[in-house]
């Protein structure tokens, strides 16, 4: 290709533009240093609670009155979205929207976003606390303690964290007596005969591991739709289906009728059951109970053992 003077001029324009843009952005990113508020004192009220687990913990600690607004992932308890202001989806917050709720403190999961809005809120004259996402038993206990300190319920929070930890260690004892791990399929949703399952690197995989089960869909990465043929290949021994309130059709029935599961041990052994989605995947104060319930559903013969372990 012959390069004309025009091509050169064109690329000169774009190069200049590019350089300017880069320079601007680098200058900008240097001045935008995120500050981490790690204070342990009680925070000014009311609170804007962002993240389903954060809201659930504050409610469980009996400080629902301290909350003025929540985000759309705060689905439990259902009361939260009904009685509090709704600042929208936690990854699409609006700076002025959050400020307009009159909240003095923001307690947010570290998943909140977009980053520009979070940076602006951190720079605002209200307190901003980030709660680290961690789905391990220790992480959940830590989350409860941190939130408890913030809302001035340290003692209650410590007690709750201890209860959760104890429940997790009871669960670990029961889990140790699982002789042979069952292959369990986690069904997030069934839509028109198309099924979305929870593969590895998901909260579904984490809860299955806690319940002492082997993820039948471990070959899949993330929550993905799979084909009927793939379902045959999975051949799960049990299937857990996510339910949510207000669903018109019964996802458990839909799953049972999936062609690919027709010949599976799960359907033959009537081991297809439903559980509430937020309960199982919430990873809040109820996580240990949810994992235990899941374990009992998968291994019904271990139910007496779970009962015996109860304090």
Partner 1 sequence: MVSAVLDSGYRDRKRRAAMLWMASGLAVAAVLLSLAVGPTGLSFNALPRALAAAFGATDDPEALRERLVLVDIRLARTLLGGFVGAALAVAGATMQAMFRNPLADPGLIGVSSGAAFAAVATIALGQGVLGFWTQWFGIFALPLAAFLGGLVTTLCLVALASRNGQLTVGVLLLAGVAIAALAGSGSGVIAYISDDRQLRDLTLWQMGSLSGASWQKVTAVVPFAALLVILTSRLARPLNGLLLGESEAFHLGIDVERAKRLAIAATAIAVGASVAVAGVIGFVGLVVPHLVRLIAGPDNRIVLPLSAILGASLVLVADVVSRMAVRPAELPIGIVMAIIGAPIFLHLLLRRGGGVS
Binding site for partner 1 (CB under 8 A): 1-4, 6-7, 9-11, 13-14, 16-18, 20-22, 24-29, 31-32, 69, 72, 85-89, 91-101, 111, 113-117, 119-120, 123-125, 201-202, 221-224
Cβ of residue 92: shortest distance to partner 1, in angstroms?
5
The interaxial angle of helices 137-150 and 154-176, nearest 10 deg, is: 170
Contact 198, 186 (CB under 8 A): yes
Tokens of 138: 């220790």
Between 222 and 300, name the residue whose CB sits nearer to partner 1.
Answer: 222
Tokens of 214: 């082997």
Query: What phi and psi, each to the nearest 5 degrees, are found at residue 197?
Result: -115, 160
Q: Which residues, including other chains, have CB under 8 Å from residue 287's CB and lie 6 or more apart? A: 135, 137, 140, 164, 207, 210
List beta partners, residue 129: 107
Q: How far apart are CA 285 and CA 308, in angstroms?
A: 22
Cβ of residue 20: shortest distance to partner 1, in angstroms?
4
Cβ of residue 69: shortest distance to partner 1, in angstroms?
6
Between 126 and 305, name the residue whose CB sits nearer to partner 1.
Answer: 126
Cβ of residue 240: shortest distance to partner 1, in angstroms?
18
Question: Cis link prior to 114 (omega < 30° from 0)?
Answer: yes
Q: How far apart are CA 71 and CA 112, in angstroms?
A: 10
Q: How distant is the alpha carbon of residue 286 from its chain centre?
A: 13
Contact 252, 243 (CB under 8 A): yes
Cβ of residue 101: shortest distance to partner 1, in angstroms?
5
Q: How far apart are CA 31 and CA 16, in angstroms?
A: 23
Between 87 and 108, name the residue whose CB sits nearer to partner 1.
Answer: 87
Between 202 and 264, name the residue whose CB sits nearer to partner 1.
Answer: 202
* CB-CB neighbours of 223 under 10 Å: 18
Between 35 and 179, name the residue whose CB sits nearer to partner 1.
Answer: 35
Cβ of residue 281: shortest distance to partner 1, in angstroms?
10
Between 30 and 155, name the residue whose CB sits nearer to partner 1.
Answer: 30
Count Cα neighbours of 267 within 13 Å in the Cβ-side half-sphere.
17
Cβ of residue 158: shortest distance to partner 1, in angstroms?
30
Contact 58, 47 (CB under 8 A): yes
Between 117 and 131, name the residue whose CB sits nearer to partner 1.
Answer: 117
Between 212 and 277, name the residue whose CB sits nearer to partner 1.
Answer: 277
Cβ of residue 17: shortest distance to partner 1, in angstroms?
5
Query: What phi and psi, each to the nearest 5 degrees, are found at residue 231?
Result: -65, -40
């Amino acid at each position: 290709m012959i390069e004309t003077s025009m091509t050169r001029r064109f690329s000169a324009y774009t190069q200049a533009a590019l350089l300017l843009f880069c320079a601007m952005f680098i200058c900008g990113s240097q001045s935008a240093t995120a500050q981490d508020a790690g204070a342990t004192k009680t925070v000014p009220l009311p609170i804007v609670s962002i993240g389903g687990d954060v809201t659930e913990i504050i409610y469980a600690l009996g400080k629902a009155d301290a909350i003025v607004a929540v985000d759309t992932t705060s689905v439990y308890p259902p009361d939260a979205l009904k009685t509090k202001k709704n600042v929208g989806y936690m990854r699409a917050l609006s700076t002025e929207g959050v400020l307009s709720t009159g909240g003095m403190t923001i307690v947010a999961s570290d998943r909140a976003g977009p980053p520009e809005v979070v940076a602006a809120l951190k720079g605002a004259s209200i307190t901003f606390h980030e709660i680290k996402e961690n789905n391990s038993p220790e992480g959940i206990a830590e989350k409860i303690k941190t939130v408890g300190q913030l809302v001035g319920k340290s003692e209650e929070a410590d007690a709750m964290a201890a209860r959760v930890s104890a429940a997790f260690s009871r669960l670990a004892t029961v889990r140790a007596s699982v002789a042979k791990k069952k292959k369990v399929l986690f069904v997030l949703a069934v839509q028109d005969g198309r099924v979305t399952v929870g593969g590895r690197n998901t909260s579904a995989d984490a809860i299955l591991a806690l319940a002492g089960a082997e993820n039948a869909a471990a070959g899949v990465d993330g929550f993905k739709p799979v084909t009927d043929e793939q379902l045959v290949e999975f051949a799960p021994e049990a299937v857990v289906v996510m339910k949510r309130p207000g669903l018109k059709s019964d996802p458990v029935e839909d799953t049972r009728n999936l062609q690919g599961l027709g010949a599976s041990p799960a359907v033959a052994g009537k081991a297809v059951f439903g559980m509430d989605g937020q309960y199982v995947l919430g990873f809040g104060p109820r996580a240990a109970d949810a994992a235990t319930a899941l374990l009992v559903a998968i291994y019904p013969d271990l139910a007496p053992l779970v009962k015996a372990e109860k304090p």
